[in-house]
Amino acid sequence: MALWLLASYVLGAVPTSHLVSRTFANIDLRAHGSGNLGATNLFRVLGWRYAVPVALFDIAKGAIPVLVFAPGASGSTLFALACGVAAVVGHVFSVFVGFKGGKGVATAAGVMLGLTPLALGAAAGVWIVLVLLTG
């Protein structure tokens, strides 16, 4: 079980927005916009063409531990949640970028997608309405 938790952390720790900003724009995203290594800041700095794939990958970083790693070790929903939390912790405190990653929103959404897809759908619906109403 410990290896699955470690694998979840390592997957979550992959600094997707950092890799994309370095590879395609030769910038350190931490020195631009909000300074955060997340898809939202990547959107602000480089635009949606970079941010959407990164956000999808970050969502997958939360869903894969719940849907793939956890069942390999246990049928427990609690263990699946633990794997998801490990992925979020990896995203927020990434060993690859000095333990300063993103905020974990997309990765946490991936965990929700794996554990409670209807709740995620409801939350996404509320978010969309709020964005449309408030700009």
For the whole prediction, is pTM greater than 0.75? Answer: yes
- pLDDT (average), residues 88-95: 97
Mean pLDDT taken over the chain: 95
* Spans of all domains in the chain: 2-134
User: Which letter does DSSP use for residue 39 in this model?
Assistant: H
pLDDT digits (tens, 9 = 90+) for 59-88: 999 999 999 999 988 889 999 999 999 999
Distance CA 19, CA 90 (A): 15
Reduced to 3 states, what is the DSSP secondary structure of residue 1? coil
Could you tell me the end-to-end alpha-carbon distance of the chain, in angstroms, rounded to an integer?
Answer: 44
pLDDT value at 2 more than 80: yes
Distance CA 44, CA 63 (A): 25
Write down the pLDDT at residue 72: 87
- pLDDT (average), residues 125-132: 92
Q: How many residues are listed for the chain in this entry? A: 135
